[in-house]
Amino acid sequence: MSSPSSNAASVSTSASTTTIHLTVNGRTRTLSVEPRRTLLDALREDLHLTGAKPGCNMGQCGACTVLLDGEAVYSCLALAIECQHQAITTIEGLAHDDQLDPVQQAFIDHDALQCGFCTPGQVLALKSLLLRDPHPDDDAIERAMAGNLCRCGAYPKILAAARSLAGRAS
């Protein structure tokens, strides 16, 4: 979570706009934000990466899920200024050229979405699980996906997509 430097000094920032550096999808991005800027707003408003969605903005829906060092988190509850030493992955960073990430492809193959609003968060929550555990059982999948609401009710198909990935990896 912190800089690897052991003698790193305290850093003080005024309440007004300051320059920060974020590593997003492998690229270092420099932006000017106030300390109160959430990671979600920095991604969407400053970097125009609109894959992470603002749903509830209070950590109660999961639509804003991104990965910090591979761990799924709610970007609406993180301050951008505090994410400068972690690798941030958004849905825009999963595909490489024309090659979708296997999780994205599995969602398409299993029709695991309807309106799609929650889908970036669902995909990243599942991605985080598979990074830790390539062969999750149903209980592990359901637990890993418990923090992402889908108001269309695509849960059974999301589970099917996840199962196919767990099987494919085995």
CB 144 within 8 A of CB 136: yes
Q: Which is nearer to another protein, 7 or 30 (CB)?
A: 7
Q: Min. distance of Cβ 20 from another protein in angstroms?
A: 10
Q: Min. distance of Cβ 16 from another protein in angstroms?
A: 8
Q: Which residues contact another protein (rule: CB under 8 A)?
A: 1-3, 8-16, 34-36, 38, 57-59, 62, 65, 68, 71-74, 76-79, 81-82, 85, 125, 128-129, 142-144, 146-148
Q: Which is nearer to another protein, 146 or 169 (CB)?
A: 146
Q: Min. distance of Cβ 137 from another protein in angstroms?
A: 15
Cα–Cα distance for residue pair 162/15, rounded to 1 Å? 43
Count Cα neighbours of 77 within 13 Å in the Cβ-side half-sphere: 13
Cα separations in angstroms, 91 against 4, 78, 88, 123: 27, 17, 10, 8
Q: Min. distance of Cβ 116 from another protein in angstroms?
A: 19
Q: Which is nearer to another protein, 83 or 94 (CB)?
A: 83
Q: Which is nearer to another protein, 69 or 109 (CB)?
A: 69
Q: Which is nearer to another protein, 111 or 151 (CB)?
A: 151
Q: Min. distance of Cβ 161 from another protein in angstroms?
A: 17
Q: What is the DSSP string of 41-88?
A: HIIIIIS----S--SSSSSSS-TTEEEETTEEEEGGGSBGGG-TTSEE
23: tokens are: 């590593």
